């Protein structure tokens, strides 16, 4: 939520337009009836903080060991789930 750059009141986001894959322009309107200023902001990805392993980086038959409870593997294969 942004504040109005003119009067400091709360501004409501009215709509947005995608400018690129990583950038969106948002249109805001001041909620102060005596001001009602409309303005835009740019919302873009600044940097990646974490990155997960891509699906094609692991074998297609890969199943994490903790994907299922131990009971899923049965009593004789309990060591697979540990």
Residues that bind Zn ion (CB under 5 A): 4, 6-7, 9, 30, 32, 35, 37
Pick 8 or 74: Cβ nearer Zn ion: 8
* DSSP character at residue 60: T
Calpha distance 81→6 (Å, rounded): 60
Pick 9 or 70: Cβ nearer Zn ion: 9
- CA distances in angstroms from 49 to 23, 24, 26, 46, 52, listed in the order given: 17, 19, 23, 9, 10
At its nearest, how many Å lie between Zn ion and the CB of residue 14? 14
Pick 24 or 37: Cβ nearer Zn ion: 37
């Amino acid at each position: 939520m942004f504040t109005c750059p003119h009067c400091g009141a709360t501004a409501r986001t009215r709509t947005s337009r995608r400018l690129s894959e990583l950038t969106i322009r948002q249109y805001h309107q001041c909620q102060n009836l005596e001001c009602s200023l409309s303005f835009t902001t740019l919302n873009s990805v600044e940097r990646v903080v974490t990155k997960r392993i891509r699906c094609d980086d692991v074998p297609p038959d890969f199943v994490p060991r903790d994907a299922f409870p131990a009971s899923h593997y049965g009593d004789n294969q309990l060591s697979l789930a540990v």
